[in-house]
Amino acid sequence: MKRFVFLLVVLTMLLAACAPSVAISQSAATNPPVTADAPTVAGELDLNNWDSVLAAAKGQTVNWYIWGGSDSINAFVDNFYGVALRERYGITLNRVPLADTADAVNQVLSEKQAGKEIGAVDLIWINGENFFTLKQADMLYKDWAQQLPNSQYVNWENPAINLDFGNPVENMESPWSSAQFQFIYDSARTNANELPRSYAELKDWACAHPGRFTYIAPGPGGFLGTRFAKGALYEVGGGAEQWLNFDQALWDQWSPELWKYFNELEPCLWRNGETYPKDESELVNLFANNEVDFSMTNDITGAGRWIADGRMPKTARAFVFEKYMIGDFNYVSIPLNAPNKAAALVLANLLLEPEFQAAQILPENGFGLGYAIDVDRVTDKTAQTALQNAAAKLGDSATPASDLANSLVGDSAAEYPNLLEQGWQENVLQK
Of the listed ranges 66-75, 115-124, 266-275, 348-357, the least confidently predicted one is 66-75
Q: What are phi and psi of 303, to 5 degrees?
A: -85, 0
Average pLDDT estimate for 319-344: 97
Share of the chain residues as helix, strand and coil, in percent rounded to the nearest 5: 50, 15, 40
Of the listed ranges 26-30, 65-69, 146-150, 281-285, the least confidently predicted one is 26-30
Q: What does each C-alpha distance from 250 to 235, 280, 424 come to in angstroms?
A: 14, 30, 17
Residue 170 has pLDDT above 80, yes or no: yes
Q: According to the model, what pLDDT value does residue 264 have?
A: 98
26 band by pLDDT with thresholds 50, 70 and 90: very low
Q: According to the model, what pLDDT value does residue 24 have?
A: 31
Q: According to the model, what pLDDT value does residue 419 have?
A: 96
Q: According to the model, what pLDDT value does residue 159 have?
A: 87
Residue 367 has pLDDT above 90, yes or no: no
**1 near 101, Cβ under 8 Å?**
yes
Percent of the chain with pLDDT over 70: 90
**147 near 41, Cβ under 8 Å?**
no
Average pLDDT estimate for 264-273: 98
Q: According to the model, what pLDDT value does residue 414 have?
A: 80
* Residue 187, SS3 per DSSP: coil
Q: According to the model, what pLDDT value does residue 17 have?
A: 32
Report pLDDT digits (tens) over 113-163.
999 999 999 999 999 889 999 999 999 999 999 999 999 999 999 888 999
Handedness of CA 32, 36, 37, 41 (dihedral sign): positive
Residue 37 has pLDDT above 50, yes or no: no
Average pLDDT estimate for 304-325: 94
Residue 428 has pLDDT above 90, yes or no: yes
Give the DSSP per-residue string, 47-98.
TT-HHHHHHHHTT-EEEEEEE---HHHHHHIIIIIIHHHHHHH--EEEEEEE
Average pLDDT value for the chain: 88
Please tell me the number of Cα atoms within 13 Å of 73 on its side-chain side.
Answer: 24
Longest CA pairwise span in the chain (Å): 69
13 band by pLDDT with thresholds 50, 70 and 90: very low
Average pLDDT estimate for 20-31: 30
**118 near 42, Cβ under 8 Å?**
no
Average pLDDT estimate for 40-59: 85
The Cα 11–Cα 5 span in angstroms is: 10
18 band by pLDDT with thresholds 50, 70 and 90: very low
Specify the pairing of strand 92-98 against strand 61-67: parallel
Residue 385 has pLDDT above 60, yes or no: yes
Report pLDDT digits (tens) over 198-255.
999 999 999 999 999 999 999 888 989 999 999 999 999 999 989 988 999 999 999 9
Q: According to the model, what pLDDT value does residue 366 have?
A: 67
Report which of 8, 428, 24, 38 is spatially closest to residue 233, judged by C-alpha positions.
428
The Cα 84–Cα 82 span in angstroms is: 6
The Cα 390–Cα 397 span in angstroms is: 13
Residue 38 has pLDDT above 50, yes or no: no
The Cα 104–Cα 44 span in angstroms is: 26
Q: According to the model, what pLDDT value does residue 36 have?
A: 33
Any residues with CB less than 8 A from the CB of 427 and at least 6 apart, and which?
255, 259, 262, 263
Residue 3 has pLDDT above 60, yes or no: no
Q: According to the model, what pLDDT value does residue 43 have?
A: 53
pTM of the model: 0.76
